[in-house]
């Protein structure tokens, strides 16, 4: 059985927390719209809450499966096997999301809008974390040019930067994997030719 890496656990928890906050925001938005426009079609009831919670669960599961794929592909030396694993993971995860969208629209117990919106929240969470990591890494670099009196602080921030870089690596790999998986779907014919060319060159 494959052992989960620490980065996978940390980033999944972070995405889950961010998605949970986003789902609360979705429910709050429905409540506010319902209070402002009580006669409109926007209603706040159990269907909104149930849709947001289930949609958030599907979104977190999608990220977790993608992170597992990234962890597995890193250890695969054969390019064709790695591409095959990403292709299968992408198709399965898109199937899972597609099934949930259909269920959210068809099942009367769900508000389809509240159920679909959370699917896009993990992407925003990853981008926001990437921006924050970039800003945090730039600050120590700027502080190092101020003089020699900050040597101890530089050492401390350097160790923090290393840990932050490790935690940032997974979202970047996951986002890159997502883009690679998408390109695999559109360029599936070109990839085998590229692999054959690399083999001939070797």
| pLDDT tens-digit series, residues 74-114 | 888 888 888 999 999 999 999 999 999 999 999 999 999 99
Beta carbons within 8 Å of 113's beta carbon, 6+ residues apart:
51
Whole-angstrom CA distances from 146 to 28, 96, 136, 139 are 45, 52, 17, 12
Instruction: Flag whether 124 is in a domain.
Output: yes
Indicate if the pLDDT at residue 156 is higher than 50. no
Find where tokens 């993608």 sit: 66
Indicate the burial class of 69 (C-beta count within 10 angstroms; 0-12, 13-18, 19 or more): buried
Percent of the chain scoring above 70 in pLDDT: 67
Residues 6+ apart with CB under 8 A from 165: 133, 137
pLDDT of residue 65: 93
Question: What percentage of residues in the chain have a pLDDT greater than 90?
Answer: 43
Residue 192, pLDDT > 60, answer no
Task: Give the domain range for residue 104.
Answer: 6-189
To the question of pTM greater than 0.95 for the whole model, the response is no
Kindly tell me if the per-residue pLDDT of 60 is higher than 90. Answer: yes
| Residue 49 clears pLDDT 90, i.e. is over it | yes
Are the CB atoms for 62 and 123 separated by under 8 Å? no
Q: What is the pLDDT of residue 76?
A: 81
In a domain, 202, yes or no: no
197 belongs to a structural domain: no
CA 29 to chain centre: 23
Among 72, 56, 23, 95, CA closest to 170: 72
Q: With respect to residue 199, please indicate whether it lies within any of the assigned structural domains.
A: no
Q: What is the pLDDT of residues 12-25, one digit of tens each?
A: 999 999 999 999 99
pLDDT band for 175, please (50, 70, 90 cuts): low
Instruction: Give the model's pLDDT for residue 2.
Output: 66
Flag whether pLDDT at 158 surpasses 60. no
Mean predicted lDDT score pLDDT of the chain: 77
- Top pLDDT among 76 and 146 is at 76
First to last CA, the chain: 34
Q: Based on the structure, what is the number of domains in the chain?
A: 1
């Amino acid at each position: 059985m494959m052992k989960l890496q620490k980065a996978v656990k940390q980033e999944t928890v972070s995405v889950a927390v961010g998605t949970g906050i986003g789902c609360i925001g979705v429910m709050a938005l429905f409540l506010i719209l319902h209070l402002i426009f009580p006669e409109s079609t926007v209603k706040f009831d159990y269907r909104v809450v149930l849709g947001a919670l289930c949609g958030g669960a599907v979104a977190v599961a999608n990220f977790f499966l993608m992170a597992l794929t990234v962890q597995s592909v890193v250890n695969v030396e054969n390019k064709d096997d790695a591409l095959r694993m990403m292709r299968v993971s992408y198709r399965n995860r898109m199937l899972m999301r597609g099934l949930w969208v259909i269920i959210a629209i068809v099942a009367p117990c769900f508000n389809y809008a509240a159920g679909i919106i959370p699917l896009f929240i993990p992407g925003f969470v990853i981008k926001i974390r990437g921006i924050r990591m970039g800003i945090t890494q730039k600050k120590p670099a700027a502080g190092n040019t101020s003089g020699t009196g900050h040597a101890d602080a530089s050492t401390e921030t350097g160790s923090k930067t290393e840990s932050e870089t490790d935690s940032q690596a997974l979202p970047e790999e996951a986002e890159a994997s997502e883009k690679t998986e998408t390109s695999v779907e559109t360029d599936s014919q070109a990839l085998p030719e590229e692999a054959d060319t690399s083999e001939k060159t070797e």
